[in-house]
């Protein structure tokens, strides 16, 4: 498991092997960590996910290692979290299960109602806070069902941010809130032409390039409002990171599994 050492009034448990979970509105993501290094916020050695609406317990059991491990989670979907907690009580390879709220995540939240901030946003900020250069603020982008653009001050405080719909969420809204527009699939692997020659192509163009423009402008505005002496580091993560990030006219760092890594960092810190 590792040793214990004290830092800033907290004890670092130095867990080396464990599982972290990100329970989202559309998917549940799992990461297994081995030989975890706090100073590098090392990524998981293996990941697994399934749709939140259709729990894949059979697949999850097949993914689990034979070694019993503790689990740590953040969640924005209470029923799915409750289902996992129930699973943890009957699965012998889960030695413990702990869900983190804002009070357990090692980052100061500079907002009036920190309990209302999504724990996934805070976990991503924890990871970015660990990875950023000292003295530089950070902008943290997580592109998935929703796209969040959050700010971390140069002092390491979560300052809030912006939330906008992801491409697939916007596509669903167009289909359900209009009479004639169809439900379309967003294949972001192929960059759409700006000028669509039919309704589907026009929707794909608007959804893709609209997301690119919205994210880039939001990053610019958030960076401007931070008003720091040093320009912020921009961290980009999430399911659509590889499709949106190349079109950002900005210096960015793509980081896989930012939320899972933030939960892993939080798992190291327990009160004595």
Cα dihedral across residues 240, 243, 244, 250: positive or negative: positive
pTM (2 d.p.): 0.89
How far is the C-alpha of 150 from the C-alpha of 139, rounded, in Å?
6
Instruction: Please give the structure tokens belonging to residue 67.
Output: 């070694």
Q: How far is CA 234 from the centre of its chain?
A: 14
Please check whether residue 95 lies inside any domain of the structure.
yes
SS3 state of residue 99:
strand
How far is the C-alpha of 71 from the C-alpha of 146, rounded, in Å?
25
Query: How does pLDDT run across 109-164, given as a tens digit for each residue?
Result: 999 999 999 999 999 999 999 999 999 999 999 998 899 999 999 999 999 999 99
**Catalytic site residues?**
120
DSSP labels for 136-189?
--EEEEEESSEEEEEEE-TTSEEEEEEEEE-HHHHHHHHHHS-SSPPP----TT
Query: How does pLDDT run across 31-76, given as a tens digit for each residue?
Result: 999 989 888 889 999 999 999 998 899 999 999 999 999 999 999 9
Q: Are residues 94 and 114 in the same domain?
A: no
Q: Are residues 115 and 63 in the same domain?
A: no
Give the domain range for residue 124. 109-166+202-260
Q: Are residues 64 and 155 in the same domain?
A: no
- Binding-site residues for substrate, in ranges, read 118-121, 199
């Amino acid at each position: 498991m590792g040793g214990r050492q004290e830092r800033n009034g907290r004890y670092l448990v130095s867990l080396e092997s464990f599982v972290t979970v990100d329970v989202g509105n559309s998917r549940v993501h799992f990461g297994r960590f081995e030989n975890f290094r706090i100073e590098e916020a090392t990524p998981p050695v293996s990941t697994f996910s399934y749709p939140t609406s259709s729990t894949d317990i059979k697949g999850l059991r097949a993914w689990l290692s034979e070694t019993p491990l503790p689990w740590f989670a953040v969640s924005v979907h209470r029923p799915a979290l409750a289902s996992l907690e129930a699973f943890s009580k009957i699965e012998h390879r889960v030695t413990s299960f702990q869900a983190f709220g804002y009070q357990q995540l090692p980052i100061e939240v500079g907002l009036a109602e920190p309990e209302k901030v999504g724990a996934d946003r805070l976990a991503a900020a924890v990871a970015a806070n660990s990875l950023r250069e000292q003295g530089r603020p950070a902008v943290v982008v997580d592109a998935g069902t929703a796209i969040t653009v959050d700010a971390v001050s140069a002092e390491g405080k979560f300052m809030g941010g912006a939330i906008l719909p992801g491409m697939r969420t916007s596509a669903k809204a167009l289909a359900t809130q209009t009479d004639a527009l169809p439900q379309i699939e967003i294949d972001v692997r192929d960059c759409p032409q700006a000028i669509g020659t039919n309704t589907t192509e026009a929707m794909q163009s608007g959804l893709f390039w609209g997301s690119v423009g919205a994210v880039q402008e939001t990053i610019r505005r958030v960076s401007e409002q931070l008003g720091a002496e040093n320009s912020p580091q921009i961290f980009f993560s999430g399911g659509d990171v590889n499709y949106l990030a190349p079109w950002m006219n900005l210096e960015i760092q793509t980081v896989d599994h930012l939320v899972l890594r933030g939960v892993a960092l939080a798992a190291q810190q327990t009160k004595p």
